[in-house]
Structure 1
């Protein structure tokens, strides 16, 4: 498989995201509204501090009782901010703080900025240049001070109410963003899994010869789940983090343009860190996902072959193989853990401390220098608040880097599998063909060495063709070519005179059926395993097929009869019961070409007699191919092909072959006990390096 680069993976994930673009757009709208509502909080606090809490240090002017007025010593005063343009104002007054105490000064003040001190009824103000100004002052009691604050309370209450409104908006939009984003992610992963599973159904059989089932399962389950984390956790943190950081920077520039510029250095640092982190993490995560697939593969293989493992006492060896993979997996997980532990939290802390140091330097130098650029306390509070909020999304982004990289690696593995060339799926069907089959000069190899050499034979409708020969002689390869699981390198195969290469594979297989030596049953019932849930096969047809093959005789003892539950592979049924169900399946689908691959090898004598009688019904009007080692089951075959090392060395009926003192006669005598003569040297153990078994094909299933 060719590894995909991050740019290609991102583009393909983006195309999948577009399938749920409406919900993604809604989530992003909710996100933007929520960020705006949340960032309104510092501005409201700034307004309360600067325009109300510390605004009482603005000049007051004597007036008559009314709105926004404060009473002191029988007189009424209104703060400068409450006066309308053009209104006539009375005597000026000031409320000034020195230490914890506030003082009332009657009359104008030239400068209120600077160091203040009070002694003997006089307030002294010393500016940055050392110049002093003296003002007569009267200390205010808490009650008197509260009188000056009273006009501010209605506005403060309104601003607090507005803050809670924005808080409610934030809560609602956060819920909406999370819901719509996760529902979008679920929809995307649903589509991805469906596409992946559909593509697996189209992959050619040779692909599965080289890739263990556990690895395929890992890509459909574990890797797609990791991609889901990309959309749910990573995308959520990155998108909300990006929008939040943009909002924070807008807020900082509004508060103070120069401080906003100072804090911009965080952006390239964060982008650079993401790039460097992924360069290292991708190497680790690639190995981690690969090892996880291998672990799934060995677990799947161990479960499938548990009886063999125990019989041959391979538990220790299997355990050691598993431990080696598991230890390797743990090693790379620990490498990722060290990388994350040394980086994510430390990076954010360093950036936070560095930024606050710069801000403090800026404020301190401005304040100590007495520059006009010194900002208000409200701006300082709002800026520190906003700056603190900047590191929340940054922390979320950095903490999700591990998930981001793991998800990208998993997405790459999924797309690599989807890029494997699959068989074209052609809709529709073809009429049931007669079943005249011809192999003409067929030569075929799975890899390099030919396993079939110049094969020629013809099977006409209604005939039974038997394929015999020792292991590795090429019997199963002929069946593989007939099903078009593979195509020959040389020669042609025709059905009813038409080259099979010119017909869609699904159309050909629609009228083919196979009964295996170890038939495959699905989870369900006996009846559903006969029909394979094909709507065209009625219940009546299922029951008739079971009766015609004699299955009702040995399945009648089951509590629920034909509706008896079947677990995976039919492990609760006997070999004979499973084989009869497989025969009934073949009969129900009424194929034009029937393949019996050692169909009676695992059957007891009584059940074999039952099946042999059913076979006569099953073979009528069909071209039947029988792969058999038990030669007594093929005596009635119209033509027997004897294969050796990929070549047809003998052909004819049973009687014709028995008249020839050849391989078939010697094999038959060995099985019946009429001769002890052995076959020629190496006859039993041909080179099988390039052999492949017949896949577990199923009647009526599109493969």
Structure 2
């Protein structure tokens, strides 16, 4: 998106909510008028009634004063309600745009950006922006409008005091600017501190098993305390400026009122304006009201500065490069997986170079190599997560990177090394809320992998809620659920990313049995760092030195004194290739 995305949201909402904006503007105007009227009523009551002793009509004016004050409160309530509605609409529009942008970012962004930082941008930073539009900007505009009206009213009552107003306004401005600049720096630091706390909490919770296993609670507590202390110190610096600012304003207010009293009241000097008692009371009332919106502006500075820091971070989020994908409606065939002259690199670091191979339909191919050899990268390229730097990949005749989302799952099923369980029912974890996958297909997939009986023994069978951590399920059962998810849409190709890594022999046997059951009639692309992780391979490809250094059937490779033979000796010795 071009331009400032936040202001685009504001403009879009204001266009849709123009009538509400008009009501808000009228509420601001009426609020100002109703707040100015009491001063003129006070002058009339004192000069025309109390000073002259003519009390007739005083009660009517007092009732009018009460009515105006009550009306001012009603209008103020309406202003707050209209402001809140507009602010919530802007918040909704902005969050929708951020959610859309999140789906457009490449996987590299999620791998290189801490989860806590992403969460902070989508929550606290957006909330800060919401405060800007639901209170900050509107209140600033309202208070500036009030200040203008009060200055005009003061000029009408005592035009000779215009010099005092001209002197006061720049003093208030420079004092506010002094505090604003310093608060802004610290508010941005607060956003970074909060992001660091979110990142720590996310890492701590996701790794809680490791924390408990190594009794690292005290270490985590110490680190968390340090992060909180950094945040507290920064907030204390902001609080120092926030505390001093109202004091400065109060002192300035008192000085202005004393000066106005001395000049306006009869004092026996040439500077005396000799105003009437009623006018003097009205002037003091207006001066008191003049400083109220100025003080309110000072209070809003914290909200505005916090919001500006949030705006900067959200703008940085929208500056991230999106993933450019041109989806094409493609028709698949039975050609298997064809890779030609494939090259890929992470930045300036080459990972795969000049790879060409053909996996026939129904063939089971296993890619073996050490960690970092490029096996997982190759699998990600075949699945369409990455696009090749050079060369081409065709899965059943189609480009996986350009495959539309609604077609991807029908062609490619993926079983990751570390399966993700989402908060929801078992059925939802298999379908991933894909409504095109029926309950019959869900149960069929569970039966194929051998987990149907376990599910039916649960309290609500397939409607049993399992949390994000899949409490109550073993690692093997979670992997079986992941395999059922992969085959639920009956894909032609199955990609396996070391599905038995770190499992015991018994669990590994269950996973092997499930994979064998799901392999019938499907092309299998599997990766492993050890030969014992192979599953009925028709062909083996050894990945090393940024490419494939050896290929062939297990029988052919066993007769050669090459990479496969070396890996076989290492595997038989019980060593780990990782």
State the TM-score, normalized to the length of structure 1: 0.75
- The equivalent of 2:224 in structure 1 is 322
Q: What's the CA shift for 1:433?
A: 5.4
Tell me, in whole angstroms, the C-alpha distance in 1 between the residues paired with 2:462 and 2:139.
54
Q: What's the CA shift for 1:36?
A: 1.0
Q: Is the 8 A contact 2:9 2:93 kept in 1?
A: no
Matches within 5 A, 1:617-656: 617-629=517-529, 631-632=531-532, 634=534, 636-656=536-556
Q: Secondary structure of 1:570's match?
A: coil
Aligned residues: 576
1:481-538 residue CA offsets vs partner (Å, 9 max, x unmatched): 2234333333333345555566668865663221122211111111111111111111
Tell me, in whole angstroms, the C-alpha distance in 2 between the residues paired with 1:657 and 1:28.
81
Q: Does 1:39 align with 2:36?
A: yes
- The equivalent of 1:244 in structure 2 is 146
Q: Secondary structure of 2:561's match?
A: coil
Q: Is the 8 A contact 2:351 2:374 kept in 1?
A: yes
More helix by share: 2
- The equivalent of 1:294 in structure 2 is 196
Q: What's the CA shift for 1:615?
A: 3.0
1:521 counterpart (417, 421, 424)? 421
Q: What's the CA shift for 1:240?
A: 2.5
Q: Secondary structure of 1:400's match?
A: helix
Of 535-544 and 19-28, deviating more is: 19-28
Q: What's the CA shift for 1:413?
A: 0.5
Q: What's the CA shift for 1:463?
A: 2.2
2:125 counterpart (198, 217, 223)? 223
- The equivalent of 1:449 in structure 2 is 349
1:234 counterpart (125, 136, 141)? 136
- In structure 1, list runs of 5 or more residues that go unmatched: 1-6, 57-148, 686-703
2:26 counterpart (19, 26, 29)? 29
1:262 counterpart (145, 148, 164)? 164
Q: Is the 8 A contact 2:366 2:539 kept in 1?
A: yes
- The equivalent of 1:171 in structure 2 is 73
- The equivalent of 1:285 in structure 2 is 187
Q: Does 1:345 align with 2:246?
A: yes
1:624-668 residue CA offsets vs partner (Å, 9 max, x unmatched): 211124534535323211112322111111212122222223333
1:340-362 residue CA offsets vs partner (Å, 9 max, x unmatched): 222x1122123212322331242
Question: Alpha carbons of 1:10 and 1:580: their partners in 2 closer, same or farther (altered >3 Å)?
Answer: closer
Of 544-553 and 629-638, deviating more is: 629-638
Question: Alpha carbons of 1:258 and 1:408: their partners in 2 closer, same or farther (altered >3 Å)?
Answer: same
1:48-100 residue CA offsets vs partner (Å, 9 max, x unmatched): 222223245xxxxxxxxxxxxxxxxxxxxxxxxxxxxxxxxxxxxxxxxxxxx
Of 163-172 and 597-606, deviating more is: 597-606
Matches within 5 A, 1:56-135: none
Of 502-511 and 387-396, deviating more is: 502-511
Q: Is the 8 A contact 1:523 1:568 kept in 2?
A: yes
Q: Is the 8 A contact 1:519 1:578 kept in 2?
A: yes
Taking only aligned residues, the RMSD between alpha carbons, in angstroms, comes to 3.0
1:319-346 residue CA offsets vs partner (Å, 9 max, x unmatched): 443333333222222221222222x112
Q: Is the 8 A contact 2:116 2:198 kept in 1?
A: yes
Q: Does 1:15 align with 2:14?
A: no
Q: What's the CA shift for 1:261?
A: 4.7
- The equivalent of 2:375 in structure 1 is 475
Tell me, in whole angstroms, the C-alpha distance in 2 between the residues paired with 1:337 and 1:605.
60
2:487 counterpart (569, 587, 593)? 587
Tell me, in whole angstroms, the C-alpha distance in 1 between the residues paired with 2:515 and 2:61.
90
Question: Alpha carbons of 1:504 and 1:261: their partners in 2 closer, same or farther (altered >3 Å)?
Answer: farther
Q: What's the CA shift for 1:209?
A: 1.8
Q: Does 1:181 align with 2:117?
A: no
Question: Alpha carbons of 1:506 and 1:351: their partners in 2 closer, same or farther (altered >3 Å)?
Answer: farther
Q: Is the 8 A contact 1:465 1:624 kept in 2?
A: yes
Tell me, in whole angstroms, the C-alpha distance in 1 between the residues paired with 2:325 and 2:344.
24
Q: What's the CA shift for 1:212?
A: 0.6
Question: Alpha carbons of 1:244 and 1:228: their partners in 2 closer, same or farther (altered >3 Å)?
Answer: same
Q: Is the 8 A contact 1:437 1:459 kept in 2?
A: yes
Q: Is the 8 A contact 1:435 1:622 kept in 2?
A: no
2:302 counterpart (397, 402, 407)? 402
Of 409-418 and 603-612, deviating more is: 603-612
Q: Is the 8 A contact 1:483 1:509 kept in 2?
A: no
Question: Alpha carbons of 1:389 and 1:428: their partners in 2 closer, same or farther (altered >3 Å)?
Answer: farther
Q: Is the 8 A contact 1:433 1:592 kept in 2?
A: no
- The equivalent of 1:392 in structure 2 is 292
Q: What's the CA shift for 1:465?
A: 1.7
Q: What's the CA shift for 1:305?
A: 1.3
- The equivalent of 2:45 in structure 1 is 48
- In structure 2, list runs of 5 or more residues that go unmatched: none
Q: Does 1:573 align with 2:570?
A: no
Q: Secondary structure of 2:367's match?
A: strand
Tell me, in whole angstroms, the C-alpha distance in 1 between the residues paired with 2:528 and 2:152.
80
Question: Alpha carbons of 1:350 and 1:647: their partners in 2 closer, same or farther (altered >3 Å)?
Answer: same
Question: Alpha carbons of 1:42 and 1:636: their partners in 2 closer, same or farther (altered >3 Å)?
Answer: same
Question: Alpha carbons of 1:341 and 1:633: their partners in 2 closer, same or farther (altered >3 Å)?
Answer: closer
Tell me, in whole angstroms, the C-alpha distance in 2 between the residues paired with 1:334 and 1:466.
59
- The equivalent of 1:461 in structure 2 is 361
Question: Alpha carbons of 1:257 and 1:534: their partners in 2 closer, same or farther (altered >3 Å)?
Answer: same
Of 167-176 and 489-498, deviating more is: 489-498
Q: Is the 8 A contact 2:421 2:469 kept in 1?
A: yes
Tell me, in whole angstroms, the C-alpha distance in 2 between the residues paired with 1:587 and 1:169.
67
Q: Is the 8 A contact 1:181 1:236 kept in 2?
A: yes
Q: What's the CA shift for 1:163?
A: 1.8
Q: What's the CA shift for 1:546?
A: 1.3
Q: What's the CA shift for 1:412?
A: 1.1
Q: Secondary structure of 2:258's match?
A: helix
1:438 counterpart (338, 359, 369)? 338
Q: Is the 8 A contact 1:576 1:604 kept in 2?
A: no
